[in-house]
Amino acid sequence: MSTNNMYQQRIPREKSAAMFAEALEYFPGGVNSPVRAFRSVSGPPLFIEQAKGSRMQDVDGNVFLDFCCSWGPLIHGHANEYIEEKVMKTVVKGTSFGTPNEMGNRLGKLILDNHPYVERLRFVSSGTEAVMSAIRLARGVTGRNKILKFDGCYHGHVDSLLVKAGSGLATFGTSSSAGVPESVAADTLILPLNDRDLLEEILSKHAHEIACIIVEPIPANNGLLIQDPSWLKCLRIKAYKHNVLLIFDEVISGFRVGFAGAAGYYDVKPDIITFGKVIGGGFPVGAYAASKEIMDYIAPVGPVYQAGTLSANPVAMAAGLAALELCLTPGFYELQAEKTHAFATALEAYAREKGYPMHVPHIGSIFWLAFGTDRITRSDQIDPANMEYFKMIHHELLQTGVYLGPSGYEVGFISGAHSVGDLEEAVGKIKAAMDVAFA
C-alpha cells in the first residue's frame, strides 16, 4: 500500500486545514503547545468546536469519541453539567480579585480532608508551575542545589528538568531544549528508572549536594511506564537514608488513579507532591503540597518566595471543587478502573489472537497502546520505529470517529462520561485500525 493511499483522508478536514494555515501566521508551528501540531501523525491538526460527555466535534462537523480528554483533566468528560453549573454561578460574581476567596478555602479543605499524605498546599496555575515551585521549596528546605530525576519522567518545561524528558520532546525525537544553560542542567542528575544499585551509588557520592529526588510514580508522559511498587518503596527508603526530600510528580496520576493518587495507590508517602490536570476540572490549576513543617518554608511565613496573580482564582477553584466532589462519589474510582481494564484487556486479547505486536498497559483510568509484546518500564525500551504503527492506527481511527492524542508516546484517558457502549464501540474500531496497521 502506498503512503498516499495509506493516509488518504476519508473525512472532511478542509476547515481545520484552513484554520491551521491561518494559525501558522500567528503562532510558532501554528500551535501553542508542540504536540498539537500533528507532526507525528497524518494531516492537519483538528480544530475542535464543541464537546459534550465522551464526544467532541471539530469545525468540519466530524464527531469523535475522545480518549485525550484534554490530556487528562476531564475525568468526568466534556462539559459536565455539575461542573458547568458551579462555574457559571461563580463567574457571574467576578472572575478574579487578586484576593483570597471562599472557593479557594473550600477546595483546599476538600483536598486536605481526603488526602492522608499532605497537611498544607499552595495553589498555582499549572503543573509546570507546581513542579518549579516544589523544586525551589526542596532547595530552600535543604540548602542544596542538585536534583535527581529519572529518564522517561517528564516534569513540565522547567529549565532544570528539560533533560531527557518525555511528552512533546520525545515526539520530536530530542532529549533536551535549546535555551537551557549548561550551568542549570549541570545541577540535574539523571538516572534510569529502577536501577537500584546506581541509585545507591549516586546518593552515596552526592547526597550532600542533592536537595530532592523527583519522580513520576506512574510515568505517563513517555509511554505508560508502570513501575514495580517495590521501586517506589525503595526510593522512599533511600531518600530517608540519605536525608534528601522525595517529590512525587502527580500532575497526571493525582486524583486520576484514586483521590490520594499514586501515593495512596502504592501506600508510599513522599515529602512533597505536585498536582495538576484533574485538580482544575478543565481550568488551568496546579498545586504543590506537603507537611505543615515543609510548607511553612513558603512565603509569607518562610523564606522561599512564590506568588501568582491568578493563583486560586474563584472560577478555577469552583471548577476544581466540583470535579473533586464528583471524584468522591462512592465507587467512582472502582468503576473507572473496571471499565478501563475491560477496554484494555479486550484489545490485548485481540492482539494475541491475531499475533499482533501490541499490548495495552493500564492503571486506574489511564491506558497506552504499546507496541511489542514485552512489558515496557523504561523509555529506552521503546522502539521509535514502532511509532509508524501508531501513526497508521491514529489515522484510521480519525476516519472512523475515535480521537487519541496525536503521539504514540502519549497515554489515553477514560472518563466517567465514557459508557460501556462507548468503550465497546471504540474497541471495535481500534481492532479494525489494528488490522490495517499490522496487515
Mapped onto helix, strand or coil, the DSSP state of residue 158 is: coil
Q: Is 154 a catalytic residue?
A: yes
Cα–Cα distance, 116 to 105 (Å, whole number) = 18
Cα–Cα distance, 392 to 387 (Å, whole number) = 9
CA torsion through residues 65, 71, 75, 77, sign: negative
User: Could you say which of 146, 149, 238, 277 is catalytic?
Assistant: 277
Cα–Cα distance, 179 to 161 (Å, whole number) = 13
Q: Is 187 a catalytic residue?
A: no
Q: Is 339 a catalytic residue?
A: no
Residue 413's H or E segment, with its range, is: strand 412-413
Half-sphere exposure of 167 (CA within 13 A, CB side): 21
Q: Is 316 exposed, middle or buried (0-12, 13-18, 19+ CB in 10 A)?
A: buried
Residue type, 148: L
User: Could you say which of 58, 249, 271, 422 is catalytic?
Assistant: 249
Q: Which residues of 126-150 are buried (b: 16+ CB within 10 A; e: fewer)?
A: bbbbbbbbbbbbbbbbbebebbbbb
Half-sphere exposure of 105 (CA within 13 A, CB side): 4
Q: Is 106 exposed, middle or buried (0-12, 13-18, 19+ CB in 10 A)?
A: middle
Q: What is the C-alpha radius of gyration for the chain, rounded to an integer number of angstroms? A: 21
User: Could you say which of 117, 154, 333, 409 is catalytic?
Assistant: 154
What region does 119 belong to: left with phi over 0, alpha with psi -120 to 50, or beta?
alpha
Residues 365 and 414: beta-carbon distance below 8 Å: yes
**DSSP notation for 2-69:** -HHHHT---S--HHHHHHHHHHTTTSGGGSSSGGGG-TTSSSSPP-EEEEEBTEEEETTS-EEEESSG
CA torsion through residues 109, 114, 115, 117, sign: positive
Residues 77 and 84: beta-carbon distance below 8 Å: no
Distances 119 to 252, 262, 288 between C-alpha atoms, Å: 21, 17, 11
Write out the catalytic residue numbers. 154, 249, 277
